[in-house]
Amino acid sequence: MTETEHTSETVTLARLPSGVSLTTTVHTYRPASADADTAADATTAGSPTLYIQAAQHGREVNGTETLRRFHERLLEVPLSGTIVAVPVANPLTFDRVSYTAPETFDSVNSNMNRVWPGDADGSLHQRMAATLWEYVTQADAIVDLHTGSPDMYPHVVYREGDDRARELASAFGTDLLLSEEANDDASEEWHRRGFAGKLRVAAAGEDIPAVTPELAHNKQIVESAVETGVDGLFNVCRTLELLPGNIIDHDQTVARNHLGKVTTPESGLFRPEPALELGDLISAGTTLGTVFDPATYEPLVTATTERAGLLYALTKEATVVEGEALASVALVRESEN
Ligand SMILES: [Zn+2]
């Protein structure tokens, strides 16, 4: 017997210069017994609504695959609220298998995750965000699925000091949680890079707890990343009491985002220290790798970390240019065992 009712709608996100409509599919899940009216009543009566989206950055396909598998399993379990899911939030970047859209589509901001809550009269990305924002603001919790790269340790980002977002992040279950300061508390870099326009930050501004899981890998379906995503969504649903079942507790390390980035002052060929692994706790002064002049073999830079912490990114793109990030070390705030 099907426990959960599923409907889907095609939603126009924006109009392309040619006049072609840019559309995506929005999926809605409700308890099987409820018709639309009673489901709406149930929402106002306090049963929660969860909004999940993937692929704002179109190459981050493991979020999209996570939602496909989540869909299959969700139909077999009894739901006590509403879930709205958008597997392809940004078809422009999905079709290009890219992170950002070309300037020909959006001269204001090529990164959709810098324009929230969007603007119905704005640029293409702003219009797309404004369309989806209508769904976002009806939700009680937000999960914005992203993926990093093979060089990045899977983690979930939440706003520092936001206990409800912290609970969602914790429920998602990755080994590492990264708290991020926002607005007045945030660094100059945070403001310069337009992070106030992230969906997670804009939703928090509306008092909706939101988290950004960063599953590993992009462009390829990676089973472990997808299963982490599906397990994470189910545990988030249990925590919100959308689904029955025991909440699974995880051992997690909490660290702070956007600190301890190690960049190279020289261009060349970077060889990461072979003994290092993502997730390692390292001390200040640890050697992360060496940048060589590829033609003369001369070592140019020995990259070290100034601070102790958890190594959560270490580049595998061997050809590096000056100023580029080689590694990220998160400042550990607490360990939970
Ligand atoms: Zn992303």
Q: Given this model, what pLDDT does residue 54 score?
A: 98
Distance between Cα 152 and ligand 1 center (Å): 12
Mean pLDDT by runs of 10 across the 337 residues of the chain is 86 95 98 61 70 97 98 94 98 95 89 97 96 98 94 94 96 94 86 92 96 93 96 97 92 82 95 95 96 97 93 93 94 67
Q: Given this model, what pLDDT does residue 134 score?
A: 98
Strands 49-54 and 141-147: parallel
Distance between Cα 7 and ligand 1 center (Å): 27
Do 154 and 148 touch, CB atoms closer than 8 A?
yes
Distance between Cα 56 and ligand 1 center (Å): 6
Output the pTM of the full model.
0.92
Tell me the chain's radius of gyration from C-alpha atoms: 21
Do 82 and 39 touch, CB atoms closer than 8 A?
yes
Q: Given this model, what pLDDT does residue 43 score?
A: 46
Angle at 73 between CA 67 and CA 74, to 5 degrees: 80
Distance between Cα 145 and ligand 1 center (Å): 8
Distance between Cα 100 and ligand 1 center (Å): 9
Side-chain half-sphere exposure of 17, counting CA atoms within 13 A:
7
Distance between Cα 89 and ligand 1 center (Å): 11
- Token pair 């997808």 is at which residue? 226
Domains of the chain (ranges; CATH) run 4-256 (3.40.630.10), 262-336 (2.40.50.100)
Distance between Cα 129 and ligand 1 center (Å): 15
* 259 vs 269: CA distance, rounded Å: 24
Distance between Cα 103 and ligand 1 center (Å): 18
Strands 319-320 and 268-272: antiparallel
Distance between Cα 293 and ligand 1 center (Å): 32
Q: Given this model, what pLDDT does residue 211 score?
A: 98
Distance between Cα 60 and ligand 1 center (Å): 6
Distance between Cα 58 and ligand 1 center (Å): 8
Q: Given this model, what pLDDT does residue 38 score?
A: 53
3-state secondary structure of 43: helix
Among 316, 305, 302, 314, smallest CA distance to 265 is for: 302
Q: Which residues surround ligand 1, an ion (CB under 5 A)?
A: 57, 60, 146
Side-chain half-sphere exposure of 115, counting CA atoms within 13 A:
27
